[in-house]
Amino acid sequence: MVRLTLGQLVDRLGGDLQGSSDIEISGLATLSSAGQHDLAFLSHPKYRSQLLSSQAACVVVSRPMGAEAAQRGAAIVVDDAYAYWARVTQLWSKLLPASNEPLIHPSAFIHPLASIDPTARIGPMCVIEAHAVIGSRTWLKSSVTVSQACSIGEDCILHPGVVIGADGFGFAPENGMWTKIEQLGSVRIGNFVEIGANTCIDRGALGETVIEDGVKLDNLIQIGHNVSVGAHTAMAGCVGIAGSAKIGAHCTLGGGAIVLGHLQLVDHVHVSAASVVTRSLLQSGTYSGVFPIDSNESWQKNAATLRQLHSLRDRIKQLESGLPQRG
C-alpha cells in the first residue's frame, strides 16, 4: 500500500499546501467517493457542489477555488488542478509495488532480426516481426503486434490488441473484381506516444505512415495507410482517419469523428465528436458537423426542411430580384 504525507507530495510536485503537512494519504479517489485517508481533486465547476461535503483528507483545486476549499479542510492549490492530478497519478503509479515479471514475457514471439531495446517491456502473446524496432522504456502490453520493418520510439505505451503495420486497404478494380495493391511501406511512431486497445495503424502503401512525438490515441481507432499525425495530437475512441490524410500538431478529434482520405488538417484544429470531415481544414479552430439531437418527430421535420434549403434559397433570390433597388 502506498502511504504519503501531504508534505512529501508537495515537496515532489509543488503546489501551495493549506493545512498540515503531516496528514497522510493512502489512496486516490473522486470527491464523492473519497474517504478520510484519500486525496481527491476538483477541476470542473460542475462538481463544485461536492466540495464541502467530500470526506477526502485533502483536495487538489485550482486557485479560483482555493478559498472555498480551505473552508472544508486541507487543500493543495495549484494553477491547473487537472494537470497536477495527472502528475499525482504518475507518482502514485511509480510508488506501487514493482512487478516481478520479466521485461519480455516468455509467451511473446520476437523475430531474431527485430531490434528491442534492453529497457523495453514486451507483454504476453505479443508478436514482433523482422526488422521491427522497439525503443527504450516502451511498454507493449498483451497481444500487441508490430509488423515487419515498423518502428516505435522511446517511452511509448501500446495497450492490448494494438496492431502496428497491418496492410492498408488498397485494391484496384479490374474486370469486375479487386486486385490487391501490395503495401510495401512501414509505420514510424515517435516518442511518448500512447495507443489505446485494439487500435490499428496501417503501413504505408509506399513510404511511411507517421505518428509523431506525444500523440495520444484512444481505443478502437483506425489510422489508414500513409497518414501522418502531427506531434501532441489526441484522438478519442472510434476515430477513423482514411488513407493519406495529413493531421497537424496539437489537434484533437472527438469520439467517432471521421476524416476522409487525402485531406489536410492544419495545426490546432479541433473536431467535435461524430463529425465527418469532408474537406481540408486550413485554418485553426473548432469545427462541428453533427446535426443536434432532438425528438424523432422534430428531427424528421427539420430534416425535411433541410432538404428544401436549396430550392428555398432560389425562391428568395427570385423574390429579391423583383424588389426595387435602394438608392
Are 232 and 215 spatial neighbours (Cβ–Cβ below 8 Å)? yes
CA 15 – CA 78 distance, rounded (Å): 5
Buried b / exposed e over 108-125, threshold 16 CB at 10 Å, is: bebeeebebeeebbbbeb
Instruction: Starting at the earlier edge strand, list the strands of the sheet with 200-202.
Output: 109-110, 127-128, 145-146, 163-166, 200-202, 222-223, 240-241, 258-259, 276-277
Partnered with residue 5 across adjacent β-strands are 24
Burial class of residue 323 (count of CB atoms within 10 Å of its CB; 0-12, 13-18, 19+): exposed
Are 235 and 195 spatial neighbours (Cβ–Cβ below 8 Å)? no
Q: Which residues contact 187 (CB under 8 A, 6 or more apart)?
A: 147, 150, 151, 164, 165, 201, 202, 203, 204, 208, 209, 210, 211
CA 51 – CA 127 distance, rounded (Å): 47
Are 75 and 10 spatial neighbours (Cβ–Cβ below 8 Å)? no
Are 146 and 130 spatial neighbours (Cβ–Cβ below 8 Å)? no
What length does the chain have?
327
Are 130 and 148 spatial neighbours (Cβ–Cβ below 8 Å)? yes
- Of 225, 232, 250, 268, catalytic: 225
Q: 3-state class of 246 per DSSP?
A: strand
Partnered with residue 171 across adjacent β-strands are 180
CA 139 – CA 194 distance, rounded (Å): 10
Active-site residue flag, 159: no
Give the Cβ contact number of residue 46 at 10 Å.
Answer: 8
Grid coordinates belonging to 43: 477541476
The residues annotated as belonging to the active site are 225
